[in-house]
Structure 1
Amino acid sequence: MKTQDDHLKELFGLPAFAFPLPGETTRLPEPDTVAWRIGHERWTSSELWGDAFGRFCAEVDLTRVRALIIGIWDDVEDTDPSEVVEALLAVRDRLPALRSVFLGDITDKECKLSRISQTDVTPLLAGFPALEEFGVRAGEGTSVGETLRLRFPALRHDSLRRLVVESSGLPVDVVRGVGASELPALEHLELWLGRSDDGADCTAADLEPVLSGARLPRLRHLALRNCEIQDEVAAAVASAPVVGQLKVLDLSMGTLSDEGAAALLGGRPLTHLKKLDLHHHFLSEPFQQRIRRALEPAGVEVDLGQDCVLDINGPRLPDTHDDLCESDICVGPVSH
């Protein structure tokens, strides 16, 4: 199961490199050889994000920068990254080679996923039409009574190949916005749907525009992860037209049970896949074996790691359930 214990190690195939603290004498790498991380680990520096970015713009040849990782911006629980978006857009003419951005590379120790404030991120996509990868980590913050949630109104972007939205509770408007967007080059789509306790309010029906594949002709990797309604999602995926064009289907980190897996196996054929990722699930051992027998002889890689515990009362969390719950990953029906 994935958690945010560590910062990103790479982006766009480039190793991550944290832009140094003020006064550090670290030798800077060539601008196009790393993914630059702007935003210091929480509690290691009092420098504001805007000041750090200003130093970065002054010391690094922006014309050669290919990937940016945005970490902590000031107080991420009650301040959204509007300043970050505006700062990047202000220098977009100086970033002609920028192809990848990840907004919110923040660990659980710095801020729980469910509490990371967010904003409308589509101006970044509109402002960088050559962007090929975009990722965002989003929860819900508050400021003077205002809710600071992720927004993603529908847009068209002709270059984007990879879109990742990590959340412990994804708003339905975001799901619908992504589904209504025209993304003809998109190959990899990853949505962490989350749980209702953290604001998730979409249904499987809201995924229909994505599952139809009509606006996503090049989609090959679909991940609908970290979901408390994973059986309903699996049933919708089972009959979805988009399945036929996929190489990787990922329904991991959620509450998938035998019911959802049965729907998958009874739906459109999956033997053309390169990989089916179901790790962290609530499948019985007999059903795990049934999935393996159905797919592995056809050459499909099946990931069934990190299974949870089942008993006569249904899904039951493992002994480490408190630790799992704190990570904001959807581990099953939890009493808080």
Structure 2
Amino acid sequence: MTVSHHAETFFGKRVVEFAYGDELKKSAAVYRLGQEYEADESQVALLDDFLAKTTPATLEALILGAWATASEDDPQAFLDRLVERQPELTELKALFIGDMTSEDCEISWIKQGDYSKLLKTFHGLETLRIRGTDGLVLPAFEHHALRELALETGGLPTKIVRNIQNSTMPALRHLELWLGDDGYGFDGKLGDYIELLRHIRPERLHYLGLRNAQIADELAEHIAQQPWLSSLHTLDLSMGTLGDKGAAALIASPYLAGLKVLDLNHHYISKPLITSLRALPLQLRIDEAQEEDDGDRYVEVSE
């Protein structure tokens, strides 16, 4: 399956579309800048047009949606222009780069850019959400304000996971990774995520999302045995291939006492174990079970 909807809210506000030449309505909204396929205007022209119609010094959040040829070109011009104009964007706290549906560009086809300069320049950035990892450069970094990091992918390369593992983010409270499918770039093993969790100190997180995962059962079995599970508010294992093994481990975990929300939407769990999950003293988010295809399970978003 693929991504079918744009974000409707971001950073606590509703999202409004903005295209080159549009008039800007003053409202309490976050704007999603987008280009038509093979648009005439450049990424820089679109961003400059938007900033000319707003007050850059008060801008707190911004979404970059589809760029003109997202399967062929990256958003580097957008990223570099943001860096150039950072002295004007003193209040920018949240960025979502690549908010596209499959009609704009399949998630595994989205070309991404180099975030090194952006992370070094925007010291006040609190939320960074990136969709797509083809060509993504996200080296190990140090950032003291970042509270939320999310990578939405159809297949997450292990080299990116290791760079996150080796980053310094003392303010981090929300970590969300879409692991994806090994046919679209996922090349990880359970051990890679055990190491990630060991390094990022998950006991300080409010939300941990290891979503869209082929190895959801293995992740659940590991997490169920970790004392820090009780310090989380939300554990999100949705969109993946979780089945009875992982569900049984979570049900039997001695560390669920403090967990408030468990999200298991898109799963392969049998009805008896769903009943047991519903009896847990927490808010369970769960839908109808997916059906295996000749014994195969699929993540929700891959291509």
Partner residue in 2 for 1:309: 291
Partner residue in 1 for 2:35: 40
| Letter matched to residue 107 of structure 2 | L
d(CA) in 2 for partners of 1:153, 1:208: 20
* 1:212-223 superposed matches below 5 A: 212=198, 214-216=200-202, 218-223=204-209
**In the alignment, structure 1 residue 75 sits paired with structure 2 residue 69:** yes
Note the C-alpha offset of 1:59. Answer: 2.3
On the 8 A contact 1:50/1:84 being kept in 2, the answer is: yes
Question: Deviation digits for residues 41-82 of structure 1, max 9, x if unmatched?
Answer: 547x53332211121222221111110101122311121221
d(CA) in 2 for partners of 1:214, 1:20: 38
| Letter matched to residue 228 of structure 1 | Q
d(CA) in 2 for partners of 1:104, 1:256: 27
Question: Deviation digits for residues 77-132 of structure 1, max 9, x if unmatched?
Answer: 12122111101000000000101000001111010001001123243222111111
TM-score by length of 2: 0.92
Structure 1 runs of 4+ off > 6 angstroms?
A: none
On the 8 A contact 2:95/2:128 being kept in 1, the answer is: yes
TM-score by length of 1: 0.83
On the 8 A contact 2:241/2:297 being kept in 1, the answer is: no
Partner residue in 2 for 1:28: 25
On the 8 A contact 1:122/1:153 being kept in 2, the answer is: yes
Partner residue in 2 for 1:211: 197
On the 8 A contact 1:105/1:137 being kept in 2, the answer is: yes
Query: More displaced, 249-258 or 46-55?
Result: 46-55
d(CA) in 1 for partners of 2:246, 2:157: 23
Partner residue in 2 for 1:161: 147
Corresponding residue to 2:108 among 103, 114, 120:
114
* 1:1-336 superposed matches below 5 A: 4-22=3-21, 24=22, 26-29=23-26, 33-42=28-37, 45-140=39-134, 149-212=135-198, 214-216=200-202, 218-293=204-279, 295=280, 298=281, 300-309=282-291, 314-315=295-296, 328=302
| Letter matched to residue 301 of structure 1 | Q
d(CA) in 1 for partners of 2:82, 2:227: 38
| Letter matched to residue 163 of structure 2 | G
Where relative contact order (Cα < 8 A, 6+ residues apart) is larger, the structure is 2
Q: Name stretches of at least 5 consecutive residues in structure 2 with no aligned partner.
A: none
In structure 2, relative to structure 1, the CA distance for the partners of 1:269 and 1:107 (3 Å cut) is same
In structure 2, relative to structure 1, the CA distance for the partners of 1:154 and 1:316 (3 Å cut) is closer
On the 8 A contact 1:282/1:315 being kept in 2, the answer is: no
Partner residue in 2 for 1:320: none
In structure 2, relative to structure 1, the CA distance for the partners of 1:99 and 1:175 (3 Å cut) is same
In structure 2, relative to structure 1, the CA distance for the partners of 1:84 and 1:222 (3 Å cut) is same
In structure 2, relative to structure 1, the CA distance for the partners of 1:78 and 1:42 (3 Å cut) is closer
d(CA) in 2 for partners of 1:48, 1:87: 11
d(CA) in 2 for partners of 1:203, 1:285: 28
Note the C-alpha offset of 1:310. Answer: 5.0
- The percent identity for this pair of structures is 36
| Letter matched to residue 39 of structure 1 | G
Query: More displaced, 273-282 or 78-87?
Result: 78-87
Question: Deviation digits for residues 150-207 of structure 1, max 9, x if unmatched?
Answer: 2322112111111111000000011111122111111111100001000101111111
On the 8 A contact 1:21/1:40 being kept in 2, the answer is: yes
Question: Deviation digits for residues 5-39 of structure 1, max 9, x if unmatched?
Answer: 222212111221222432x4x35215xx3212222
Q: Name stretches of at least 5 consecutive residues in structure 1 with no aligned partner.
A: 141-148, 318-323, 330-336
d(CA) in 2 for partners of 1:49, 1:108: 20
| Letter matched to residue 245 of structure 2 | E
Note the C-alpha offset of 1:283. Answer: 0.6
| Letter matched to residue 290 of structure 1 | S
| Letter matched to residue 120 of structure 1 | D
Note the C-alpha offset of 1:139. Answer: 4.0
